[in-house]
Structure 1
Amino acid sequence: MNLVRVALAVPLFQFFDYLLPEEMQPVRGGRVLVPFGRQQRVGIVVDFPAQSEVASEQLKPICQVLDEENLFNEPLWQLIHWAANYYQAPLGEALFQALPVKLRQGESAVENDRTFLRITPLGEQALRENLLKRAKKQQEALHSLAQSPQEKGQTPFASSIWHSLKEKGYVEEYEQVNSIRPWQALEQPIVNEENKHRLNKEQALALGRILFHQGFAVWLIDGVTGSGKTEIYLQTIEETLKKGQQVLVLVPEIGLTPQTVQRFQARFNVEIDVLHSNLNDTQRLRAWQRAKSGQSAVVIGTRSALFTQFSNLGLIVIDEEHDGSFKQQEGWRYHARDLAVVYAKLLNIPILLGSATPSLESLNNVKLGKYQHLILQKRAGNSTALQQFVIDLKHQRIQNGLSDALANKMQEHLQQGNQVLLFLNRRGFAPVLFCHECGWIATCQHCEKPYTYHQHQRVLRCHHCSSQKPIPMQCGHCGSTHLMTTGLGTEQLEDTLKQRFPDYVVTRIDRDSTARKGTLEKHLQDIQQGKSQILIGTQMLAKGHHFPNVTLVGLLNVDNALFSLDFRAEERLAQLYVQVAGRAGRSEKHGQVVLQTHYPDHPLLRSLLKEGYGEFAQQALHLREQMGLPPYSSQALFRTQSRHSEQAEQFLQQIAATLQHLSIEGLQIYGPMPAPFSKKAGAYRWQLLVQHSSRAVLHQALSQFQANMPQKSHQVRWILDVDPLDLT
């Protein structure tokens, strides 16, 4: 009796055994079609066991073998196994998340022949004679084909339009035989030398160190905005390509991808593929196939591109390594930067981590000797020094987050024909109650930590000791009734700006306003062309974009980070400030950056503005060490949600009891307590934080917990987030 052990995309920490018919020959890491309940599902072969714990009469045969070869090379296979174990995720879910959607659905992993559409002579005649003037969409589609043939299913036009055009004889289909051509077979130089920049001394020394070292090394390129980090990436990539190897470049947000691709295409005459969430499933599969077969030289993508199968990967680059969007927040919650370092070690290749504001975790790894530190302090090009201003909001008139003082500054810059950029700090936000007149903050007397404002329950709650109190009617210090909560929305700010500056165009760039495909690129183009004068953005606009006419940048609601429940909020604010400041004065124009706050004397702000990010980071690391917080300890966060608050809380109480029963010395358990945003989409949210000074001991506790997990109600959903970045 031959057996095959299969992983399925189910939230269970187990595999499933099936009988293997003699005529079938699956491979480890390949897909098979198997019966599962009343349906058939795609599975991935993980083993060929000699025997099964399931009785032979209960075993069913697999239905079909889908792959003749492994979909995961050995280093990638090892990486996903390691990651599933580290992040406490079922291996089946991790393996399937690493594959394009089409492969999860059972489509062929081999690149097949492709069907294209082209215009016929009759179609060309129809365009000349304007025969489709009453069918505008058909006319547009035919015009697009007149430029060049297009792949079927990959055009912006509906299939019904192409069907009508084929019926009229204006369009025909043809097959293009797929021929795999390695990227190295190009007939032109790898690099466009005229687009290459001459390195300054600092850059040249950094590049020399990277290229001299052989094999695995983590290089933290720590450079101020405009210091030329990208040029070091490009010249390191050039040397990798000259060896015939491929390169993976990870960027944090989809907003960075278009301009990154443009810069790479201008520099290199090689096949470059892009992987991000705005691609359709067929496009993602094509990019995966091309990397696996060696047709693409460079793959640029967001976090999930890490799991792309390469034929010969030689270098990994992570731009903006500090960015929180490298951490997956749905499904299994891996961190792409941290996994990329593990992957580079498995492959024995270098990895570059770049940032103007390195994460405290990476700076600590430099201290420990795990990372090599390359510092670029010289600002390249004609960039000018910035003027910094702090606006004290106490006693200022404020309208939806905009003070009169900032509005007056905006007017000055706009009248000079320049652009203004306003940022909202939204990450790690938990609302805090404070007095607009004197700056008093509602604080827990037991913990000396700010209370979190819970709007739905109309209470102030301490997330350290769980004490709570009613929302006060007046300030506890000066008696003023002008109490406010930190927090601000982009839409309200947009409305205020349109009323206050009716002669200028206001453009808002956030996740909501750029949800439709192509809107982000359109907004960015309008900004570059000067069609928009006032820009409102969140984190997605803070990074990487070059706006030469922006001379004033305002950071509006910084106070929510100064008193956040999340200990990382201050680090994020410092990073955002430096990134934001990098948007102003990037050309020969003088730039100004403005911070609005009720607390201008806060130690963080004073340290950041006077001594810069590097000194702030060292102080923050020292404080984290004193408090026993990451990176000097490890954390895991359990989250539950349910329509019934008591059920969500009760399950976490069971988890806490299970962990306490393990009797692990030094294991700290905080909670359960309501999440700072305690109700979302009709569901109540609770959380439980677990911490230990030893990463290994914490993971031992989590593994033991999985083996003794309590039963839960089907009305409760829960997740486990290892190394959580967001505690709100």
Structure 2
Amino acid sequence: MPPAMAWRLDIAVQTPAHAALGDLLSYASPAPLVPGTLVRVPLGRREVLGVVWNEPSPLDDAEPDMALKPVGAALDALAPLGDAWRDLVAFAARYYQRSIGEIALAALPPQLRDLSGTQLARRLKRKTTTGPVAETAEAAHPVALSAEQTAALARIEAEAGTFLLVGSTGSGKTEVYLRCVADLLAGDAGAQALVMVPEINLTPQLEARFKARFGDDAVVSLHSGMTNPQRLASWLAAHSGAARIVLGTRMAVFASMPGLKLVVVDEEHDPSYKQQEGARYSARDLAVWRGQREGAKVILGSATPSLESWHQSRPAEGEDPGGRYVRLAMPSRIGAGELPTVRLVDMNLQPPKTVLSGALLDAIGQRIARGEQSMVFLNRRGYAPVLACADCGWKSECPHCSAYRVFHKIDRTLRCHHCGFTERVPRACPSCGNPDIAPVGRGTERLEEHLAELFAAVTRPDGSAVRIARIDADSTKKQGALESQLAAVHSGEVDVLVGTQMIAKGHDFRRITLVAAVNPDGALFSSDFRAPERLFSLLMQSAGRAGRDAAYLAAQGATAEMWIQTHHAQHPLFSALRKHDYTAFARQQLEERAAAGMPPFAFQALLRADARTQEAAQAFLNAASTAADALAGAERVVRYPAVPLAIQRVANVERAQMLIESPSRAALQRLLAQWQPLLHALRRTPEGKGVIRWLVDVDPHSI
């Protein structure tokens, strides 16, 4: 070891999954580098990007371990990542049971890993410096606020902490966000705001509104739909403070923002905020933690908040001290707009195999005749969920998954939505040769075709043919497809819009006066206790697309309606939905969960194992449960027997899971932390043979 190498640095690097190498690796450096500095370091045969994590310590010549590898180049053109950012990463790694390096490196733009110090310095020269936000024409003539918006803004201004803004669809939550950001930036020249949305397709819409208000230079986006150079440019602008406002999806919660003073999480209930691959973090929960750590205000907004957030915002009552969040209510729509009337169609009273009831078709026809738009929501893409042979019972099962391949008529394929395996539709039954194989069930493609047939003879007010459009993951694959389809809806070219949940939330369609949900019953009796909550949110959000423009409704002489076709019209979920009564629904759900000891009254984690056989996966999980018996505090944590996942085989990999539950979050976290080394060791025993991977999912969203 040369004498110049005088410092030991603890560095976070992205170590291989389940390598059990520990959180930080030590390297030798000739100079003490500041924590947060990005460096290149050798790892195996590669050179990788790392983050200096702790204060450097001098290397003692007498230390027996002098074989530390030397640090490579430091990317010192970039300002070090701050203490608050490193605290956020460390908390996320600890809470979600992952390594610090995995979280830290995943949070950085991928292109940073490939740039040299010189290339990075050139990139940084292109960035503008931070300055006052220019007032745009829209900012100079802001819209008038309602009394509810004014009251919410006053409380956000006067109080600190986390706010739950419960605003019905169309109540003007976005305007509240815009005003909060404007007040912040006007009062503090170095302040930054983070605004999060659940899905990429909502980002351009919100980005346009923020740029119209604050100008192009003040706003950057961060989401996975961007190219690597775009992500790097946005990240550098946020890190330097040049970008005053960062808009993004869940990944944006890890953006390096030294001046962060405000975090907005729009549609905070949305399951998309929970990462489902790798480190399974909840961006909403991390946003709240980050706000507390950095002294930033946090606004969680939704018409149908998650039951966890609703419970955390409960007012104090008797001996209950109440929740940690401040609840703000905006129940009224802007202007004279009213929430749509909810109509239930009891499908038990309809002829067998009815897809759309006569009354619903008549209502859509009336809308078309008046030049209004309707939206038909079905949360299942493709033409039909399965192709089947009536003679021998063959069905279009996926050979690699325990699921059916979906029939897509447009390109005549059978496609597995789990592993992606795709084949052309066979000319005859592969089992018995019967040429008469038929689709069973309905997806958005088939519904679109069905509606086109039903309204083929109907004309629009100008005499032209009715136009049916479909928006789902299949119709929006090509770049720019979603934007052009949404533009067609906004311009009035589309009469009936068919789609999945992609169209159910966030969009501000001004001419839609009728929304219909075709087949929502599946979630009512799901084994997942969160399914009713998700269904209620989705239907409320869908209803919120109707009648958003009160002036348009008045001019048309129309009323906004939400039609729901169901076989369970008496279900309490629909009773609450008819009254737009989220409070009643939440009360009933929370009472059930309290009685059953489920979140938010208990805390959960899943231990998952993927293996070549189901027996191997379950044997690993059951052995892990037995090993946990010896851990301190194990008696405070319930471990249920291992079971297969609902879709137990995907891409020829068998999947099993074990639910772990405790009334104490601290007890659950202590057990999980102690369990990690046992799980790593178990992989190397006979019980671990055949196991491909295992993972811990803390606060799982679906079980």
- TM-score normalised by structure 2 residue count: 0.81
The code of the aligned residue for 1:618 comes to R
- Relative distance call for 1:331 and 1:191 in structure 2 (3 A) is farther
1:631 Cα offset (Å)? 0.4
Alignment of 1:76-155 (within 5 A): 76-108=85-117, 112-113=121-122
Cα separation, partners in 2 of 1:83 and 1:195, compared to 1, 3 Å = same
Q: Distance in 2 between matches of 1:257 and 1:398?
A: 42
Are the counterparts in 1 of residues 606 and 698 from structure 2 also a CA contact under 8 Å? yes
Secondary structure at the aligned position of 1:20 is classed as: strand
Query: Does residue 223 in structure 1 map to residue 167 in structure 2?
Result: yes
Q: Amino acid of the residue matched to residue 522 of structure 1? A: S
Alignment of structure 1 residues 512-591 onto 2, 5 Å = 512-587=474-549, 588-589=552-553, 590-591=559-560
In the TM superposition, 1:196-345 aligns within 5 A as 196-213=142-159, 216-242=160-186, 243-244=188-189, 245-269=191-215, 271-345=218-292
Q: Report the Cα offset of residue 297 of structure 1.
A: 1.5
CA distance in 1, matches of 2:202, 2:694: 33
The alpha-carbon distance between structure 1 residues 319 and 108, as it changes in their structure 2 partners (threshold 3 A), is farther
Measured in 2, the distance between the counterparts of 1:601 and 1:654 equals 45
State the identity %.
Answer: 38
Aligned residue among 55, 64, 70 for 1:61:
70
Residues 183 and 594 (structure 1), Cα distance of their counterparts in 2 relative to 1, 3 Å cut: same
After TM superposition, the structure 1 = structure 2 runs for residues 109-508 of structure 1, keeping only pairs within 5 Å, are 112-113=121-122, 178=126, 180-184=128-132, 188-189=134-135, 192-213=138-159, 216-242=160-186, 243-244=188-189, 245-269=191-215, 271-367=218-314, 368-394=322-348, 396-397=350-351, 402-425=356-379, 489-502=443-456, 503-508=465-470
How far 1:575 moved relative to its partner?
A: 1.0
CA distance in 2, matches of 1:701, 1:177: 48
1:486 is displaced (CA, Å) by 12
Letter in 1 for 2:53: V
**Aligned partners of 2:13 and 2:25 also within 8 Å:** no
Query: Using a 3 Å threshold, how does the CA distance of structure 1 residues 426 and 567 change in structure 2: closer, same or farther?
Result: farther
State the match for 2:413 in structure 1: none
Q: What is the alpha-carbon distance in structure 2 between the residues aligned to residue 82 and residue 301 of structure 1?
A: 21
C-alpha change, 1:21 and 1:716, in structure 2 (3 Å) is closer
Q: Does 1:20 align with 2:25?
A: no
3-state secondary structure, aligned to 2:447: helix
Give 1:31's aligned amino acid. L
Shift of 1:690: 0.8
Of the structure 1 ranges 271-280 and 375-384, higher mean CA displacement relative to structure 2 is found in 375-384
Runs (5+) with no aligned partner, structure 1: 115-175, 432-453, 457-484
Query: Does the 8 Å CA contact 1:255/1:541 hold for their aligned counterparts?
Result: no
- What residue identity is the alignment partner of 1:674? P
- 1:715 deviates by 4.7
Q: Which moved more, 1:405-414 or 1:524-533?
A: 405-414
CA contact (8 A) 2:612 2:690 kept: no
SS of the residue aligned with 1:697?
helix
Q: Distance between the aligned counterparts of 1:661 and 1:487, measured in 2?
A: 50
1:635 Cα shift?
Answer: 0.5
Matched residue SS, 2:10: strand
Residue-by-residue CA offset, 1:251-309 (whole Å, 9 max, x unaligned): 11112111211211222245211112221011111111111222112111111111111
2:515–2:562 contact (8 Å) kept in structure 1: yes
Contact 2:605 2:699 in 1 (8 A): yes
In 2, the alpha carbon distance for the partners of 1:60 and 1:193 equals 55
Deviation at 1:644, TM superposition (A): 2.3
Aligned to 2:317: none
CA distance in 2, matches of 1:341, 1:487: 42
Match of 2:657 among 682, 687, 711: 687
How far is 1:487 from its partner? 8.0
Report the Cα offset of residue 51 of structure 1. 6.6
Q: Structure 1 96/109 Cα, relative in aligned 2: closer, same or farther at 3 Å?
A: farther
Within 2, Cα distance between the matches of 1:357 and 1:305?
23
Higher deviation after alignment, 493-502 or 44-53: 44-53
Give the structure 1 partner of residue 395 of structure 2. Answer: none
- Of 228-237 and 399-408, more deviation after overlay is shown by 399-408
Instruction: Read off the aligned partner of 1:93 and give its amino acid letter.
Output: E
User: Quick check: 644-653 or 331-340, which moved more?
Assistant: 644-653
In the alignment, the residues of structure 2 paired with residue 552 and residue 240 of structure 1 have an alpha-carbon distance, to the nearest angstrom, of: 38
Deviations 1:104-159 (A, max 9, x none): 33455986446xxxxxxxxxxxxxxxxxxxxxxxxxxxxxxxxxxxxxxxxxxxxx
Per-residue deviation at 1:397?
4.4
Residue 440 (structure 1) aligns with: none
Q: Name the SS for the 2:129 alignment partner.
A: coil
Shift of 1:492: 3.4
Deviates more, 1:33-42 or 1:418-427: 418-427
Q: Secondary structure at the match of 1:421?
A: strand
Equivalent-residue separation in structure 2 for 1:95 and 1:323 (angstroms): 24
Distance of 1:407 and 1:654 partners within structure 2: 57
Q: Which amino acid aligns with 2:364?
A: M
Distance in 1, matches of 2:273 and 2:440, equals 26
Write the deviation string for residues 296-342 of structure 1: whole angstroms up to 9, x where unpaired: 12111111111111231221111111111111111101111111111
Whether contact under 8 Å (1:183, 1:294) holds in the other structure is no
In 2, the alpha carbon distance for the partners of 1:36 and 1:412 equals: 67
Deviations 1:405-436 (A, max 9, x none): 53343333223322221122469xxx9xxxxx
Which secondary structure does the structure 1 equivalent of 2:126 belong to? Answer: coil
What does 1:619-634 align with in structure 2 at a 5 Å threshold? 619-634=588-603
* Letter of the 2:294 counterpart: L
- What's the secondary structure of 1:679's corresponding residue? strand
SS of equivalent to 2:313: helix
Output the CA distance in 1 between the equivalents of 2:587 and 2:261.
33
Instruction: Provide the rounded CA distance (Å) in 1 between the counterparts of 2:379 and 2:301.
Output: 22
Number of corresponding residues: 609
Q: Which amino acid aligns with 1:268?
A: F
The one-character-per-residue Cα deviations of 1:191-234 (angstroms, maximum 9, x if unpaired) are 74444122222221221111123xx4111111111112122111
Q: Which residue of 2 aligns with 1:652?
A: 621
Kept in 2, the 8 Å contact 1:636–1:720? The answer is: yes
Measure, in 2, the Cα distance between the counterparts of 1:333 and 1:179: 33
State how far apart, in whole Å, the 2-side matches of 1:106 and 1:378 are: 51
Alpha-carbon separation, structure 2, partners of 1:111 and 1:66: 8
Q: Secondary structure at the match of 2:210?
A: helix
Q: Per-residue deviation at 1:527?
A: 0.8
Q: CA deviation at 1:395?
A: 5.2
Counterpart amino acid of residue 203 in structure 1:
Q
Q: 1:72 to 1:177 in 2, by over 3 A?
A: closer
Partner Cα distance (1:686, 1:388) in 2:
40
Give the Å deviation of 1:240: 0.2
Which position in structure 1 is the counterpart of 2:389?
A: none
Aligned to 1:719: 695
Distance 1:536 1:365 in 2: 36
Structure 2 CA distance, aligned partners of 1:16 and 1:375? Answer: 45
Note the aligned Cα RMSD (angstroms).
Answer: 2.8
**CA drift at 1:239:** 0.9
Residue identity matched to 1:574: F
Cα deviation 1:77-106 (Å, max 9, x = unaligned): 111111110111111101011111112334
Determine whether 1:705 maps to 2:667.
no
Deviation string 1:544-569 (CA, Å, 9 cap, x unpaired) is 21112212111122211100111111
- State the secondary structure of the residue aligned to 2:253: helix
